[in-house]
Amino acid sequence: MPEVVLPRLGTVAAWRAEARRLAQAGVAAESVVWRMGDGEADLLASLPAETTATPMREIRLPREAVASFETALCHADPERFARAYGLLLRLAEGSLRWGDRSDAALGRLLAQEKTVRREIHKMHAFVRFRELPSEGPRRAFAAWFEPDHPVEEAAAPFFARRFGDMDWAIVTPEITTRFADGSLDFALTEGRAAPPEDGTEELWRTYYASIFNPARLMVKAMQSEMPKRYWKNLPEASLIPGLIRGAEGRAAEMQAAAPTEPPARTAAIARQRRAVSPPPTAGGVVPGNEAGNRPPASLPEAKAAADECRRCPLWSNATQVVFGEGTTAARMMVVGEQPGDREDLAGRPFVGPAGQVFDEEAEAAGLDRSMVYVTNAVKHFKFTPRGKRRIHQKPDAGEVTACRWWLDLERDLVRPKLIVAMGATALASLTGTGAGILKRRGSVERLDDGTPLFVTVHPSYILRLPDEASRVEERSRFRADLKAARELLEELE
């Protein structure tokens, strides 16, 4: 039985080349053993004398499938290569349809894809650089990180764009990623010395303390956002036990004050971030990638780039960008208006009162929010301050148009089968006009690229109704809309 030993560096590309070669020679899934080597260039198997599968001339998979395969192959599961090869053969022969979630092997691959995306996201969020002495004109930084899955190569382009004007290295127990003079390179890690400390540590401590909101403290949730195993490499982690201990008292104080302004220190950090942000960019330029100037190629990249967006002035008062949430595996995209006060502080869409209505009614309608990509037409909170409160203001046409670049990008990356517009702003962003929403409600329109659009009202419309009876009635109409959208999606699949 041939054994394919894949190199630790360039694993995905090597698997792809070998899988194609074996499939084209008609080698059946059960006649290959796949294994990860620990070298840079392990030897690949010679073809077996006997082949049992049908030889394939050319293998064509949907773009989405290729992306899922490549991501799932960065999982640590030793079975992933064999599983992916088996799936590749079945998809190519037509005995399996891409997206058939009832298939156990495909379900496993998609679940592993999700795990890997999360791991990449964690690496993007939790790598902490420390400055190193540098003799050249570029500043030099290094970071130590211990991922649970071999995601170093997949995670690196984000850092190269973000920190394109510095030299840096990210060292993991297995791989050292280096970025020097604009070029990225990977090598097997030789030593494990942690980089020296510098003043950046204190900055991170201040930052972490300021974004920590004790009123929202849920140790379990916090640990799943920032699992304990990451703490040891985070300078700010030393603050966590103290913050947890003091949380109850501080939460009570915050509730009593009940401001809807961002905490002063958060605002100070946001101002500081703005002061060091790159100059305003007119278009959807990816900061740090001006030379290539290509649009972000994944949702985490898109979110990072949106963080620097200056396409309209709304960024300057908001605490942070609130990008869409969900994965590229989502079949349905739900579009709201803009983040509200709570969303602005949390950095996540639909977590406030409107989000609660949406969650409850979506669940009652049989929609699994984890399978839905939830976003907004406008990604920054627009408000006017009134005393300590921040009063929601509807975004104007210019802001909606400016932000459509991001919504279009999300549509491009997620490619949902169905989009649901909640409210007139979402409808205007997607179709050019939000007029006549109540007449258009419940109907299905076609977008420019043919994607069906289901129209419904915004959950805050329901919350604003003056009497309880109409709120109850509207909620049940909203639920019926979401159920109709779910059924339509099932028909489309």
Strand duo 418-422 + 389-392: pairing: unpaired
* Binding test (CB under 6 A) with ligand URA, winner from 284, 295, 324, 339: 339
155 vs 400, beta carbon nearer ligand URA:
400
φ/ψ bin of 164: left (φ > 0), alpha (ψ from -120 to 50), beta (otherwise) = alpha
338 binds ligand URA (CB under 6 A): yes
* Binding test (CB under 6 A) with ligand URA, winner from 287, 295, 349, 434: 349
Sequence-distant (6+) residues with CB within 8 A of 115 are 75, 149
Given the structure tokens 């049908």, which residue do they identify? Answer: 54
Other Cβ atoms within 10 Å of 267 Cβ, number: 14
343 binds ligand URA (CB under 6 A): yes
434 binds ligand URA (CB under 6 A): no
395 binds ligand URA (CB under 6 A): no
337 binds ligand URA (CB under 6 A): yes
Smallest separation, CB 390 to ligand URA (Å)? 13
Residue nearest ligand URA (C-beta atom): 336
**Binding segment for ligand URA among 174-182, 211-219, 274-282, 336-344 (CB under 6 A)?**
336-344
CA distance 70 to 379: 29
Smallest separation, CB 354 to ligand URA (Å)? 4
**Binding segment for ligand URA among 236-244, 262-270, 342-350, 398-406 (CB under 6 A)?**
342-350
478 binds ligand URA (CB under 6 A): no
Smallest separation, CB 391 to ligand URA (Å)? 14
Instruction: Pick out residues in 436-465 that bind ligand URA (CB under 6 A).
Output: 460
Instruction: Pick out residues in 358-387 that bind ligand URA (CB under 6 A).
Output: 376
* Binding test (CB under 6 A) with ligand URA, winner from 147, 284, 324, 355: 355
**Binding segment for ligand URA among 89-97, 148-156, 164-172, 333-341 (CB under 6 A)?**
333-341
Q: Which residues bind ligand URA (CB under 6 A)?
A: 336-340, 343, 349-350, 352, 354-355, 376, 460
